[in-house]
Every structure is written in C-alpha cells, then in structure tokens.
Chain A
Amino acid sequence: MYRALTVSLALALGCVSAARADIVLADLSYRTGPYANNGIPSSDGFNDYITLLNERDGGIEGEKIRVVPCEFGYNTQKGVECYDKMKAAGALSIQPLSTGVTYGIIPKSMADGIPVLTTGYGRTSAADGEVFSTIFNPPANYWQAADAQIRFIKEQEGSLRGKKIALVYHNSPYGKEPIPTLEALARREGFELQFYPIDHPGAEQAADWDKLKAAAPDWVLLWGWGVMNPTALREARRVKFPIDHIIGVWWSANETDVKSIGRRANGYKAVNFHAVGTEFRIYNDMNEYVYFAGKARGEADNLGTVLYNRGILTAILVTEAARTAMKIHGTTKLTPQMMRDGFENLNITEERMAEIGMEGFVPPFSLSCANHGGSGRVTVNEWDARLRGWRQIADYYEPDMSIIGPMIKADADKFAKENGIKRRKCR
C-alpha cells in the first residue's frame, strides 16, 4: 500500500517536474510593428539555438529550457510591461532587445535581482558592474562602436584634424548613445562633428541630407534602425555623398536594409562585434535537429544573416551563463540570483566557442564583478553588392578605454547618485 502510494506520488511529482521546465528564459520580441523586419531574425536565431540544445542535448545538464515569448512591437511601454510578465513566469534572465526598454527596466531588474542581458545595445555605462549589479552588455557597447568607427576613419585619412564627420542618427535614446564618445574624440582628434537627428521611423530624410550636402562632411556615421537605414543610403546617393564614406553601427548593417537598394549600397561599411554567414559547424547540427526536423521558429531565408546570428550569440551567452551558474552553485535548479552569478563569471574562450561549433564567431572575452561589458572588440565590414554579403575589412580593434573607461565610470556614478545606489567593491 505504502509502496503503491510512494510510486504514485513519485510519478505525480515526476509529471509535475516534466511539465515544469526548469530553465525559463524570456524572449522579448517584436514580430509586429515598424521594426518587425529586424525583430524576427533576432528572435528566430535565439529560439532556434535553444531548440537545438533541447533537441540535441536535452537542455542544459539535463534541464530542459523553456522560452517564454512576449511580443512588444518595439513599443517601450509594452516592453517594460513584458518585464513584469516575464518575472511572473519565473524567467531567469531578460533580453529586452531594445535600448528604450532597457532604460525602463534597469531599476526593476536591480531591485528584483533578475539579470538583464543586452547584447550590443542598451545603456553603455551598464558595463560598470560595481554600479549595475544585474545588467550585462557584452561583448561590445555603443561607445566602443563609435571609437572603432573613428579609428577606422583615422586609418584611412592619416589625421582627423580639420576633417568633418557627421552623425546621422535615430532621434531616440539608442541614436543618442554615441554622442558623448564622439564629442570626446572630436576634442582629442580635432575633427568637426555635425549632428543630423532623424525622427521615427525615418522614411523622410530629404531635407536632412540637403543640409548635409551643404555642410559637406568628409565621412558619415549612420546610427539608424529599420526603414531609416535604406532611406539614408538612398538619400546619400541622391546628394552624391560617396557610399563608401558612410560607416554604420551594427544595427544599421542588416542585409535587408542594404539589399533593398541593390548595387547602390556597394562599399557601404558598418562595424560589428561578431561574424556573419552560415559557415560554422553548428549549422550542421541546426540543420539536423532544427531546420530539417521542422522545428525552426521562422523562415530559412534569415539563416546566417547579421541579426539571426546575433540572436544565436545572445542565446549562447545566456545558456553559457546558466551552465556557469550551475557549476558555481552545484545545482541545476537555478534562481535569477544564481544566473546573475553565472553572467558575472562568464568566460567565452576560443576553445569553448569551437566546442559549441562557432569557432571564430566572436573574439574571446570574460566578464567579472567589475566588468559587465566584455572585451569591447569591434571590427569593420563592407557590403559587397556583387556577392550580396558582408566582407570583413579590418581586424578587431581593441577599444580605447583611456577615453571610454572614465566616461563609463562617470555615467555610472551619476546613475548611482540619482538612484541612491552605493557602488559595491569588487575584489
């Protein structure tokens, strides 16, 4: 009798545990709205990598992963609401996929202890782990992107003294992020900086480019999103600004943006912090366990694109953080606080990336209590319209932390003061 009862109880518990996934991850996505074209491949890449781990490995250390989606249409208010839903669903980490939403949820995340991962976006000074204890923005941030853009231009020009560089940017928190770094670099290097804010969504830029034509800058930095990117390139052609003197940030470097204007985009450049394409071993497993098994989240057209691969990178970072957390705490039953420890001890080595099947995909980096931003290494790619793909044309630049480091600390201190946060001491 007792035995039967025990077996029944064990089975019941087993059923409950089978029904309840132990690793819950949030997928804030925008499959609708003005930026759906960008949101879909990012989310697909993230979901497909998680599917691969579940199908091939049975999850992480035997724990299945469950992705909880929350559609926010790139609407900041809805995105912030998604955070509360994800928290209620028991998410171990949040990837907001929007700088505006990141700003909105930073105080909540720090109060709740739920880690937030912003892969190449969000608040730049979150790299300061002594203040932003739960926010992580590896492997590179916007200030490092701006630094790499200027470094590349300097290599082409020899000296920047007397040169004119224009920033054409999305008039939003995201677009304004590089301004402090560019201003500091302009002071140091002696170049003139011009600003051209473009209102959402950015389908009308004629007058801005007419102004730009009159101001005749030598180079243009493009900090756009969605329809703003192809429109800017089209307008550049209209005012006869050389396309090969435009350098975008990594969110202005999506294949669909450049493909839609055809050969005219040839020579356009953009910085990036990871590789593109499908020439990684992991795609063999992806084919077997995800695509050919009919378990892919979306269409196959996006495989290997900039945003799809970035989605995979985000999934790799989250799942590697979970693995690290399990090792640190000696358990597979994770809490958000344990997950935060996992992020803080994340070590992405070349060997580990090779084991995953993504050798050379991203430069190695590690995070720590003080450094939540990673290595900050950024490269420059060029669009080849004939091949319809990106070509890497520079090595990965080491960021100039002599300028960026103090700025990160100053901005983090400002945030700490405004929010009554005491800077923690990292050993």
Chain B
Amino acid sequence: MSPVFLNTLEVILNGLMAGVMYSLVALGFVLIYKASGIFNYAQGVMALFAALTLVGLQTGQVPFSHLINAIFGTEVHHFGWELPALVAIVLTLGVMVIFAILVERLVLRHLVGQEPIILFMATIGLAYFMEGFGDLMWGSDIKKLDVGLPSGGSFWLEDVTRGWAAEGADYYGMYIDLLDVWAAIVATILVVSLTLFSQYTKTGRALRAVADDHQAALSVGIDLRTIWVITWAIAGFVALVAGVMWGAKSGVQFSLSLIALKALPVLMLGGFTSIPGAIVGGLIIGVGEKLFEYAIGPMLGGATENWFAYVLALLFLVFRPQGLFGEKIIERV
C-alpha cells in the first residue's frame, strides 16, 4: 500500500476517534433535551466543572483557597493528601448530583411552564455562572489530569501498519492514541448502559414518559421534579466522563468548556433526541472535518475544521431536518 493511502486511512481513524470525543459531549445535550425539552447550553461548562472538581479532589486542593487566603490572610492551598482516582471520581459524581439538585431547586422549579427559549436563556446564565464559580473554586491554571488511563501511541499498531507499506517506502507506521481508543470503549459502554437504563428500568421508563408528554406523565403520578434531578445528574455524569477524556487529552483548562461548540453540529446531524444519533453524528462529523481539512484544506488556506462541521450538518438538515435519527414532528393545523 502507498504511504498516501495509509496516511489517509490514519486520518479517517483519527477522525473516528475525534468523533467519539464529540459524541461524549453531545450525549449530555441529548439526555437533557429528551427528558425536559431544554437545550442545555451549560453542558460544556459542566464538563469543565466536573473535570476541575475531579482534579481538585484527587490532588487534595483546598476549594476557594484564593478567596480564603485573600480574606483571612492565610496561605492554605492543599489538604496534604491525595485521593485514588476511583474515590475522586465517586466524590465528583456526588458533587454533580448536588449540582443537579441545586439546578432543579434554584432554577428549573421557578421556570415550570415557561417557553423553551426562557429555559434555554437560563442555561446560558448557568453556563456563565459556572465558568466563574469553577475558576473561583479551583483556580484557572492548566491542570494535569491522570486517572490511570493509558495514553500515547501503540507500538503494536505502528509495527503492523509499517509492514503494510511498500518495500522501502518512507512510512513509519500508523499512530492511534490509546486514550482515544479508551474513549471509544467508554463511549460504547456509556451508550449501551444508557439505552438499557432507559428501556428496562422503572426510572428509565419514567424518563421516557416525561420526554413524551409532561402532562400525561404528571397525570400518572410521575414526579417531574425528581425526574429533572435524575436527568441533570445523569447529564452531570456524562459531563464528568467527557471532562475526564478531554481533560486527560489536553489538560483541564477553560477551553474544555468550548467543546460544546463541537457538539452542536453533531446534534444537528444526529438529531436532538437520539442517543445512537449522537454517536453516529459524532463519527460522521469527526471523519468529515478531518478528511476535508486533510484533502481540501490546503487548497482553501487551511483552518477549515471549525466551519466545515457546520456546513456538513447544514447539508444533512436540507434533506433530513429532524437529523439522522431525530423524531419527525408533524403538527396539524
């Protein structure tokens, strides 16, 4: 095989891996949209907040240390202990559940019956609040996240693919980051678990009932508020997974919150209400943008990835406005 073909194949594989990472963020959007009809603008910031909290707990950082030191003239920064990754993840999950309860109590409860646009605006406010709150709580320096996941290239894959190239060709083998492979495995487990949860558990069925019709769900005794807390807690869990994967890749820092922008074309393409749609949409966007940048980008001066994802999503919308897996809404007049 020619090195050009092998390089293109590597771009496609890396695109698939990037797509999985986009899907992880898109999943959080889908969960909340399905259960409450809210487009949660704060999903990206939730991923950042979860990752910040995880690193903070893992490394024994004192929350709000800068504020405490400024007020009391102290010099406290660390508790002096470090937590195992698993314990820190469980505690972070607890923080995200508390966050879900607070969102329901302080925001959603007061906006029951409001137009979706009002709820959307509330999530924008929530996003900006959490950005500042996260900074204040854990600081804004870049933090290294290590939860024990393997990263770096696979020598095995490099050796195998090097053998595919023609004899004497200038080719060093294919590089796939092991962290991306783990992200793909985690995303698969997540999707299967979420699907099983929503299909076969009582709570899952209640979530789907609320998603279908709020009023009907209320009439059969489903507590809307509890369902919202559960939904936001699950979205918080998904945000934590996305935050761990992205944070392990590029460090935990503010730009994590911008990954939400990568999830938007995925949602447009896959549909706002479909969990498999988020995965397939992510893969198409990931491969599409990487391949376009690789093959066509040089002719257009490069830097095409950000806008091409949206063009691709818009093209799909022309033919399937509800997205690949979204529900077709027909309203009769």
Q: Which residues of A contact B (CB under 8 A)?
A: 31-37, 40, 171, 195-199, 201-204, 206-208, 210-211, 213-214, 226-227, 230-231, 234, 238-240, 256-257, 260, 294, 298-299, 301
Contact = CB atoms under 8 A, between A and B. Distances in A.
A227 B250 contact: yes
A171 B293 CA distance: 15
B73 interface: yes
| Most chain B C-beta atoms within 10 Å of own C-beta, residue among A195, A210, A231, A294 | A210
B66 interface: yes
B305 A37 contact: no
B301 interface: yes
B325 to A, nearest CB: 25
B253 interface: yes
B258 A240 contact: no
Given A197-B301, A214-B7, 11 more contacts: A37-B141, A37-B254, A195-B301, A199-B306, A203-B259, A206-B290, A207-B15, A207-B290, A208-B297, A210-B10, A214-B4
Contacts of A199: 303, 305-306
B316 interface: no
B251 A227 contact: yes
B240 to A, nearest CB: 18
B250 A231 contact: yes
Given A37-B253, A231-B250, A294 B73 contact: yes
A372 B144 CA distance: 41
20 contacts: A34-B253, A36-B135, A37-B140, A37-B141, A201-B255, A204-B18, A206-B290, A207-B290, A207-B294, A208-B293, A208-B302, A210-B290, A210-B294, A211-B302, A214-B7, A227-B255, A234-B250, A238-B153, A257-B142, A260-B144
B92 interface: no
A37 B142 contact: yes
Contact of A226 (B18, B255, B262, B306): B255
A104 to B, nearest CB: 22
Given A210-B294, A214-B4, A204 B305 contact: yes
| Most chain A C-beta atoms within 10 Å of own C-beta, residue among B262, B291, B293 | B293
Nearest to A197: B303
Nearest to A254: B142
B73 to A, nearest CB: 6
B94 interface: no
A299 B15 CA distance: 40
Contacts of A257: 142
Interface string B238-271: 0000000010001101110011001000000000
Contact of B250 (A207, A208, A230): A230
Given A37-B141, A211-B293, A206 B258 contact: no
Interface in B1-45: 4, 7, 10-11, 14-15, 18
Contact of B258 (A195, A203, A294): A203
Nearest to A33: B254
Contacts of B142: 37, 227, 230, 256-257, 260
Interface residues of B, number: 43
Nearest to B132: A32
A40 B302 contact: no
B166 to A, nearest CB: 16
Contact of A211 (B177, B251, B297): B297
B84 interface: no
Contacts of A240: 172, 175
A357 B253 CA distance: 35
Contact of B175 (A203, A204, A238): A238
Contacts of B18: 204, 206
Contact of A206 (B14, B141, B251): B14
Nearest to B302: A197
Q: Which 8 A-B pairs have the closest CB atoms?
A: A207-B293, A36-B140, A197-B303, A201-B255, A207-B290, A227-B255, A199-B306, A260-B251
A265 B141 CA distance: 19
B199 to A, nearest CB: 34
Nearest to A175: B303
B298 interface: yes
A242 to B, nearest CB: 12
A31 B135 CA distance: 9
A171 B177 CA distance: 26
A213 B153 CA distance: 16
B303 A171 contact: yes
Nearest to A202: B255
A171 B142 CA distance: 22
A385 to B, nearest CB: 14
Nearest to A207: B293
| Most chain B C-beta atoms within 10 Å of own C-beta, residue among A197, A226, A231, A260 | A260
A34 B255 CA distance: 5
A211 B294 contact: yes
Nearest to B246: A203
Given A210-B294, A211-B298, A238 B177 contact: yes
B237 to A, nearest CB: 23
A350 B33 CA distance: 64
B258 A201 contact: yes
A195 B302 contact: yes
B253 A227 contact: yes
Contacts of A260: 142, 144, 251
B11 A207 contact: yes
Contacts of A208: 293, 297, 302
Nearest to B298: A211
A411 to B, nearest CB: 21
A114 B297 CA distance: 43
Contacts of B77: 299
A37 B290 CA distance: 28
B260 to A, nearest CB: 12
B104 interface: no
Nearest to A39: B140
Contacts of A298: 66
Contacts of B175: 238-240
Contacts of A294: 73
Given A197-B301, A260-B142, A210 B11 contact: yes
| Most chain B C-beta atoms within 10 Å of own C-beta, residue among A31, A40, A213 | A213
Contacts of A211: 293-294, 297-298, 302
B297 A207 contact: yes
B7 A210 contact: yes
B298 to A, nearest CB: 6
Contacts of B139: 299
A36 B254 contact: yes
Nearest to A41: B141
Contacts of B255: 34, 201-203, 226-227
A356 to B, nearest CB: 28
B140 A32 contact: yes
A358 B215 CA distance: 72
B301 to A, nearest CB: 7
